Structure 1
Amino acid sequence: MNELLSKLINDWQLMHSVELVATLLALAYVVLALKQSIWCWPAALLSTLLFTHVMWDSALLSDALLHLYYAGMAIYGWWRWRQITQDAAGSQAVFEWSWQRHLRLIACTAVAGVLLGYLMANYTHADFAWLDAQTTAFSIVATWLVAKKLVSNWLYWVVIDAVCIFVYAQKHLYFLTALFMLYTIIALVGYFAWRSHYQLQHSPMPAR
């Protein structure tokens, strides 16, 4: 009995230690991304590999798959940001799409989320299958928008992070819950910072 209790305590401490390290790396990723530092992507890669383990053990299977995708996107994001910097002759460029294009993207992503939710609800033991599937689908898209340096990626994250706060709190993932509360604030700051940069980038040069 004592051995079992000791094992449970050790497992709990290990899980929360892994969650804490992954959380700190994830926070570093967001702060570096806000500053448009390419070093956000190595932080993201290490964080996602650790979070994949945490999500799988917590039966959040869609999130586990999502973090594997994040690992791949971290590699793509590093390559893409380097390419953008080279194309812009060393300057930090950001981009934006029309609201019509975003609306089409949101509709397609929501449909994909419903399909994923159906699979998770009927063929796996996933908790919060429908809600988790939607955050997964939109997180996939939002991460792609970060890699493309679209200003509005931050607005996607505001909504995603707010929903994730509820899910993670229900699963007693306290570090993650606190992290996503902070994420929501950072996403708002990131949006206004990138939008200001975008507007400055497209403002006419003053006459000399």
Structure 2
Amino acid sequence: MSLIEIFGAVLSALAVWLTSRRSMICWPVSLAAAGLYCWIFLKARVYADAGLQIAFSLYVIYGWQHWRQMEKSDGRICVRRPTSRTLVNGMLCGAAGSAVWAFVLARFTNDPNPLMDATLTAYSIVAQCWDTMRYRETWLLWIMVDSTYVGLFITRGLYPTAILYAGFVLLAANGYRLWKPESSSRPSSILPS
């Protein structure tokens, strides 16, 4: 356990809490947390998650811009409804990403559990994409992913991070409760039909 890991955990928890509140400040806080965790995960040989932090940073930059364009006059962000097809496509993309990334990790790194690392990384990217698009379902996917991450981080000796991700599960449940789509919002898709 290091001071950097504790600070990264605090920033990450704050970022998720701010996201659940649909606050624009979530984006710079998320960017700082992703940078810290990239370094932490590299040191712990959780390579897919280190790469995931880079992907998160790109999504943060995109999401920040996207949310700013969708901000309502009261400063809140409108929650959208995805189509069933969008949800299925997201799950299929996660499965494909898991397979490819697991192969790369198993072949080219000393990752002790490449399949779990790859699967969690792929579905985290899907959840982050759904978050950027303001889909309420992002929180359900985060609950599943973060619950599994708790066990992974315990096996790697990243106890503050395991506690953080247990907290993420609670924050995601609260985010799901708070993110209610507008009654007039129609289902939308991020992938071409």
The answer on whether the counterparts of 2:67 and 2:77 sit within 8 Å (CA) in structure 1 is no
Partner residue in 2 for 1:62: 48
- Please tell me the residue identity of whatever aligns with 1:189: N
The structure having more radius of gyration, on CA atoms, is 1
Q: Could you report, residue by residue, the CA deviation over 1:139-188 in whole angstroms, capped at 9, with x for unpaired residues?
A: 11111111111111101101110110010010110110001111011111
Between the two proteins, what is the percent identity of the paired residues? 25
Segments of 5+ residues of structure 1 without an aligned counterpart are: 1-14, 204-208
Secondary structure of the structure 1 residue equivalent to 2:179: helix
Q: Which runs of 4+ in 1 moved over 2 A?
A: 88-92, 98-101
- Please tell me the residue identity of whatever aligns with 1:19: E
Pick the aligned partner of 1:81 from 60, 67, 72.
67
- Please tell me the residue identity of whatever aligns with 1:182: G
TM-score in terms of structure 1 length: 0.84
Q: Could you report, residue by residue, the CA deviation over 1:108-139 in whole angstroms, capped at 9, with x for unpaired residues?
A: 21121111101101111112111110111111
**Deviation (angstroms), 1:45:** 0.6
For the aligned residues, what is the CA RMSD? 1.4
Partner residue in 2 for 1:118: 103
Q: Partners of 1:54 and 1:128 in 2: how far apart?
A: 17
Partner residue in 2 for 1:21: 7
Q: Partners of 2:102 and 2:84 in 1: how far apart?
A: 26
Partner residue in 1 for 2:188: none
Partner residue in 2 for 1:32: 18
TM-score in terms of structure 2 length: 0.90
Partner residue in 1 for 2:178: 193
**Deviation (angstroms), 1:101:** 2.4
Q: Partners of 1:19 and 1:83 in 2: how far apart?
A: 33
Aligned residues: 183
Pick the aligned partner of 1:106 from 87, 91, 107.
91
Q: Which has the higher helix share?
A: 1
Segments of 5+ residues of structure 2 without an aligned counterpart are: 185-193
- Indicate the structure whose relative CO is greater, using CA pairs within 8 Å and at least 6 residues apart: 2
